[in-house]
Amino acid sequence: MKVPTTSVSTRHGSGHGSGHGSGHGSGHGTRRVPPPSLASVASSLLVALPLLVAPVPAMAAVAADEGSRVGPFESRAVPGGIAAVDLGPADGARPEAHWNGRRVAVLAEDGRWHAIVGIPLGTGPGVQRVTFDAADGTEGGVDFTVDAMAYEEQRLVIEDTRKVNPEPLDMRRIEKENARLKVVKATRVEELLAGTGGFDWPVAGPVSSPFGLRRFYNDQPRRPHGGIDIAAPEGSDIRAPADGLVLETGDYFFNGNSVFIEHGLGLQTFYAHMSRIDVAAGERVSRGQVIGAVGATGRVTGPHLHWSVGLNATWVDPLLVLGTDAPPER
Ligand SMILES: [Zn+2]
């Protein structure tokens, strides 16, 4: 189980329904530590004993809506994927839903509520449960199955060895950046700014490196690839793939010049290695607006856009939110 205490705002539903005031830059007000063990205890119990839990009739079926689209999300319940889980008829106010100690997005589609769960790459196959609290006070849980998924290995040679084995001074900077990004990733706007259609590609060009690759830098294992790389010449325009709110911009040790956009309900996009940044934290951006340009800053082997999509503070395969699988040609 992964850091159950790093929850997104767990009790934000009421009073913040339409606002995005908490989404600006600092975002400190939005993090909450969930009731300590409740979620983790419940989920470990329920996952360990799936056959002993008497299912409510509606939860008998275990599969997520595989391959279906809910809003901008395509459902594919694998590590690094997205599970769209049917919570029942969409009467009344939107329920709050949690998985693995984190609040997850909830969207209405075809008259039913769906929890939209971003599944971390490290998740093993098996049954998982989303819990929810409806506005009328009822509570429930719905099971879904995570299938196995094998990602390929990739070996890269980085000439600047300090970007592979950072010095103590670098480590202090990296730790500060990671703490900052944790706050950013836990910040959410309580409405789907992005709209319900699939996202546009942020830049034209071929995918040079897919999502989920198990990476080795100079033969040393590092975190799997949490996004896709799109090859494009230095200086190419990067455009917002959907409406959103800029949460953060900055120069990061590994990621170079970076931008973080919240598209609502915890759906976020992240842009790295930019040569230029044209937006600032707190700024609303529209689909198609230029937010900066492709570059080669940070830990890179050449100019490209590294693009990540986050859901409940979890990187998922960007192809699952894109409107088209094939990138536009240059
Ligand atoms: Zn990348």
pLDDT band, very low/low/confident/very high, at 101 (cuts 50, 70, 90): very high
Question: Ligand 1 center to residue 195 CA distance, Å?
Answer: 26
Decide if domain 34-146 falls under CATH 3.40.50.2000: no
Tens digit of each residue's pLDDT (9 = 90 or more) over 7-59: 333 233 333 333 333 333 333 333 333 333 333 333 333 333 333 333 333 44
Mean pLDDT for 103-129 is 96
Q: Which of 123, 121, 127, 85 is nearest to 105 (CA)?
A: 85
Contact 8, 102 (CB under 8 A): yes
Domain boundaries, the chain: 34-146, 153-320
Distance, CA 229 to ligand 1 centroid (Å)?
5
Of residues 209 and 37, the one with the higher pLDDT is 209
The gap from C-alpha 207 to its chain's centroid, in whole angstroms, comes to 19
Q: Is the pLDDT of residue 193 over 60?
A: yes
Buried b (16+ CB within 10 A) or exposed e, 222-247: eebbbbbbbbbeeebbbbbbbbbbbb
Ligand 1 centroid – CA 238 distance (Å) = 15
Q: What is the pLDDT of residues 217-239, one digit of tens each?
A: 888 888 899 999 999 999 999 99
Angle made by CA atoms 251, 255, 259, in degrees to the nearest 5:
60
pLDDT tens for residues 46-96?
A: 333 333 333 333 443 445 556 789 999 999 999 999 999 999 999 889 999
Ligand 1 midpoint to CA 128 (Å): 29
Residues ≥6 apart with Cβ < 8 Å to 116: 70, 71, 73, 82, 83, 84, 85, 104, 105, 106, 107, 265, 267, 311
pLDDT given for residue 46 in this prediction:
33
Per-residue model confidence (pLDDT) at position 109: 93
* CA of 220 relative to ligand 1 center, distance in Å: 17
- The pLDDT value given to residue 32: 37
Interval 199-209 mean pLDDT: 96
253 vs 257: CA distance, rounded Å: 9
Give residue 216 CA to ligand 1 midpoint distance, Å. Answer: 13
* CATH architecture of the domain covering 153-320: Distorted Sandwich (2.70)
215 Cα: distance to centroid of ligand 1 (angstroms): 10
The model's pLDDT over 243-294, given as tens digits with 9 standing for 90+, comes to: 999 999 999 998 999 999 999 999 999 999 999 999 999 999 999 999 999 9
For residue 188, report the distance from its CA to the centre of ligand 1, in Å.
24
Question: Residue 249 is encoded by which pair of tokens?
Answer: 């911009």
The pLDDT tens digits of the residues spanning 140-186 come to 999 999 999 999 998 888 888 888 888 999 999 999 999 999 999 99
